[in-house]
Amino acid sequence: MSDSGLTTKEEELIEEQGWKEFRQERKRPLWKKFAFGFWITFLIILLVGIGAALVYKTGFTFSQMNVGNSSGILPLTEDEATPLPDSDRLNILVLGLRGEDDPNGGLLTDSIMVLSIKKSTKQVALISIPRDLYITMPGQNYKEKINFAYALGFEKKGAVDGMYLSKIAVSRVTGLYINNVIAVDHTAFKEIVEIVGGVDVYLDKPFSEKEQFAKEILIDLPAGLNHLGGQTALYFVRARYSTNDFDRARRQQMVFLAVKERAMTLGVLVNPVKIYQLLDSMGRNIKTDMSVGDIKNLVGLAQDVDSKKVIHKVFDVAPEGLLYASQSPAGAYILLPVGDNFQKIQEACNNIFNF
């Protein structure tokens, strides 16, 4: 304490700020200082609370989504053995279905897409397998469309074996080891698009669907940039009467990447409210055999993906599409591989990053 009655620290403050500023600071009511400190403390507690709530919600959501791993419900012969894992490739099978509550084929996977990542180069490919591809069902001696594999397994032990048989079926067609599966129903798709604020898609020409859906929910989109809400986006990826399944697969790939871009661009993955909403929808409507570590790894890889450089592949009946149309013994429309084996399709999938 100096002769002026001020502390050494206060005298230093006067020298730095001047007497007038010092007096104003000294006269500030104690309650204002307390209030400022209180709000800082409150915000810290709030953020910690939100973090804790999200950690709990994440764990709870994972427990809802994760179906575990099947030990194998059906005996598989050597001919049906899946390819060996590739340490430099991560292959995630993404299945789209109406949902188990839909009595009209809700367990048929009308969207079958492989997200393939080459870890060393961070290259990404989206490979769509048409639902009408006619194959021998895993562990069975009869043939069916590939979109029936999930339903066949689901009838045994639920989603865990639906995913197991889908893995077997798709790996045999593509020649790729399938690391994990994600099954998404229509409700999840629609809600996720809404949560990220809709998606933007660019169309080279107008697109409309006037036959598949009821008249009050027609799709009629102009050429150019279109912003789609959840319901419209769902119709956009489901529509096929006005075009075909192959075009629908291309639109599914387009929207798949649009959702990723929207989430990353708007910082959805760092927004606590958005994260909570996403977790809530995912827990109710998505099933997977991925672990928490698998999901974290996938999100990390996705953040580095340049959507403009993603390789797109849709097998179809075009001259280079490696498929041809036929009929099943019952007269149903089916697709078969050129050469009546999957060798060329497997070569295309395994060499997709080499072109």
Q: Rounded to two decimals, what is the model's pTM?
A: 0.81
The number of domains in the chain is 2
- Full domain range(s) for residue 80: 73-350
- Average pLDDT over all residues of the chain: 82
Q: Looking at the structure, do residues 17 and 125 belong to the same domain, yes or no?
A: no
Q: Looking at the structure, do residues 134 and 215 belong to the same domain, yes or no?
A: yes
pLDDT in tens, 44-79: 444 444 444 455 567 777 777 878 776 555 555 545
Q: Looking at the structure, do residues 274 and 151 belong to the same domain, yes or no?
A: yes
More confident residue, 179 or 2: 179
Q: Is the pLDDT of residue 90 over 50?
A: yes
330 inside domain? yes
Question: Helix/strand/coil (H, E, C) string of the chain?
Answer: CCCCCCCHHHHHHHHHHCHHHHHHHHHCCHHHHHHHHHHHHHHHHHHHHHHHHHHHHHHHHHHHHECCCCCCCCCCCHHHCCCCCCCCEEEEEEEEECCCCCCCCCCCEEEEEEEEEECCCCEEEEEECCCCEEEECCCCCCEEEHHHHHHHHHHHHCHHHHHHHHHHHHHHHHCCCCCEEEEEEHHHHHHHHHHCCCEEEEECCCEEECCCCCHHHCEEECCEEEEECHHHHHHHHHCCCCCCHHHHHHHHHHHHHHHHHHHHHCCHHHCHHHHHHHHHHHHHHEEECCCHHHHHHHHHHHHCCCHHHCEEEECECCCCCEEEEEECCCCCEEEEEHHHCCHHHHHHHHCCCCC
pLDDT in tens, 235-286: 999 998 888 899 999 999 999 999 988 887 777 767 778 877 888 888 888 8
pLDDT in tens, 136-170: 999 889 999 999 999 999 988 888 899 999 999 99
57 inside domain? yes
More confident residue, 291 or 222: 222
